[in-house]
Amino acid sequence: MRKKITVAICGFGNRGAEAYGSYQMLHPDEMEIVAVADPRPARRALAVKEYGVPEDRCFTSGEAMLAQEKLADVMFITTQDSDHIRFAIPALEKGYHLLLEKPISPSLDECVALREKAHETGRIVVVCHVLRYTQFYQKLKELLVCGAIGKLESVVATENVAYWHFAHSYVRGNWRRADESSPVILAKSCHDMDILRYLVGKPCLRVSSFGDLDWFRAINAPLGSAARCLDCQVKADCPYDAEKIYLTNPASGYFGGHRQWPLTVLTNDVTEEGIRKALQVGPYGRCVYRCDNDVADHQTVNLEFEGGVTAVFNLSAFTEGCYRTIRLMGSLGELEGNLDEQKVTLRPFGGPEKVFTLDPVEGEYAGHGGGDARMMEQLCLLISEGGRDALTSIDVSVESHLMAMAAEESRLHGGKPIDLAEFGKARK
Ligand SMILES: NC(=O)c1ccc[n+]([C@@H]2O[C@H](COP(=O)([O-])OP(=O)(O)OC[C@H]3O[C@@H](n4cnc5c(N)ncnc54)[C@H](O)[C@@H]3O)[C@@H](O)[C@H]2O)c1
């Protein structure tokens, strides 16, 4: 029988607990959480009550947990973007393997330092580029590798963030400011840069990028609006109204329909009363035109890969749904797919179209098109069997971070083309 892996979780928030920790409930024979660290008492209480972590193994900070002897095989680093490295480096030094949330760090220097530390200590670092593990992207990769469309020449990929998701995370929420977290192209789309690198199968050489924060600014606040949605006179006409997003809109938080993310980000008291209180006093009740956000709300990136493959990536806040689409164009045919629909269409030139309908992503496989759960399966297998080659290793992940950071550099300099080799040498 396979050895069960032991896990210590640093940052028992949404990703640490709900996305990855919950794998223990479904597969208690594969993984056991033996320690957690989180400054929020409610999250430590959750670890004890729902996940069975011993009280004396619940620490008030990652620092306190790392002051102990090594407690587990793997440490999950699931704190906020700028708080990954300060836990990841000492954890590697203590002998932990790592499951590390993306982005590795908003600083390229820190990304490279972690890669070097992983090599020096010989530990495995799996970065949570969960999309690589989905059936959807694996199917596309398989079709490309077997030559279904001949030589790949160009790619068009889009990330439709959804108006309510963008308002939640990038206007009111944790990723609204580049200086406190990271630019949206890194925070959200290092996944997409990673997928492009994965599918093309060759290094990216140059990027250029345009985009801006245009809509979510004070200048666009409607007459009669207020600092908080609950006090707004014109909220009936506003799709970004927090009351709609979190309490009544079936497409988003929807108190009446489900009580998980993003509602759990607002409050531990996920009752209608608890949510209303959070909207009265907390950041998620603020008018989207009166926040302190600065990340771009739409951005386009052009990419050139080794061998001449070109790609265009577009991210937009202004979409009704939250999904990704992709088109891959080759010398002998094209591939088209929609992650949300779990559907890949192959159109060989001059031949019949073939549609691949993948397994529905439900239940345990709901997160990120099934990527969250599939990555956890792979992690447990990798650690218990002593393997080395993670699909999303620190080495491949640093490449996607370099692409995203170079895109941001270009966007901030009027779309100037950036050579990745030179940008990587200059490091920031
Ligand atoms: N892979 C993905 O697709 C994906 C999706 C969403 C978020 N993320 C990334 O996951 C990370 C976590 O995001 P989240 O939504 O879970 O955030 P979160 O705020 O819900 O969780 C972070 C947790 O860290 C805790 N924390 C703060 N300081 C700490 C310390 N000193 N020691 C230990 N814990 C501490 C916080 O109390 C919180 O519970 C971020 O880097 C984010 O960008 C990745």
In this structure, the dihedral spanned by the alpha carbons of residues 261, 263, 264 and 268, taken in order and rounded to 10 degrees, is -170
Query: For residue 187, which atom of ligand 1 is closest to its CA?
Result: 43
Mean pLDDT, rounded, for 377-390? 90
Query: For residue 182, which atom of ligand 1 is closest to its CA?
Result: 43
Number of alpha carbons in the 13 Å side-chain half-sphere of residue 51: 28
Reported as a single tens digit per residue, the pLDDT across 192-206 is: 999 999 999 999 999
How far, in Å, are 175, 390, 398, 401, 417 from residue 205 at the CA level?
Answer: 28, 24, 14, 13, 10
Domain end call among 130, 158, 191: 130
Q: How far is the CA of 201 from the centre of ligand 1 (A)?
A: 30
In whole angstroms, give the CA distance from residue 258 to residue 128.
Answer: 25
**Is the same domain home to 206 and 225?**
no
Indicate the pLDDT class of residue 363, thresholds 50, 70 and 90: low
Reported as a single tens digit per residue, the pLDDT across 147-163 is: 999 999 999 999 999 99
Q: Does 128 sit in the ligand 1 pocket, CB within 6 Å?
A: yes
**Is the same domain home to 264 and 348?**
no
Q: Does 102 sit in the ligand 1 pocket, CB within 6 Å?
A: yes
What is the per-residue burial (b if ≥16 Cβ within 10 Å, else e) of 367-396?
bbbbbbbbbbebbbebbbeeeeebbbbbeb
Encoded amino acid at 231, one letter: D
Indicate the pLDDT class of residue 393, thresholds 50, 70 and 90: very high
Q: How far is the CA of 167 from the centre of ligand 1 (A)?
A: 18
| Burial class of residue 339, CB neighbours in 10 A (0-12, 13-18, 19+) | buried
Number of domains observed in the structure of the chain: 3
Residue among 80, 181, 392 whose CB has most ligand 1 atoms within 8 A, to mutate: 80
Q: What is the pLDDT of residue 253?
A: 77
Boundaries of domain holding 408: 131-216+293-370+392-426
Reported as a single tens digit per residue, the pLDDT across 219-230 is: 999 999 999 999
What's the count of helices (H) and strands (E) in the chain, helices before strands? 15, 15
Q: What is the pLDDT of residue 365?
A: 62
Residue among 43, 75, 101, 265 whose CB has most ligand 1 atoms within 8 A, to mutate: 101
In whole angstroms, give the CA distance from residue 11 to residue 23.
Answer: 16
**Is the same domain home to 164 and 224?**
no
Reported as a single tens digit per residue, the pLDDT across 288-309 is: 999 999 999 999 999 999 999 9
pTM: 0.94
**Is the same domain home to 143 and 210?**
yes
Q: How far is the CA of 10 from the centre of ligand 1 (A)?
A: 9
Q: How far is the CA of 347 from the centre of ligand 1 (A)?
A: 41
Asked if the model's pLDDT at residue 13 lies above 80, the reply is yes
In whole angstroms, give the CA distance from residue 83 to residue 399.
Answer: 20
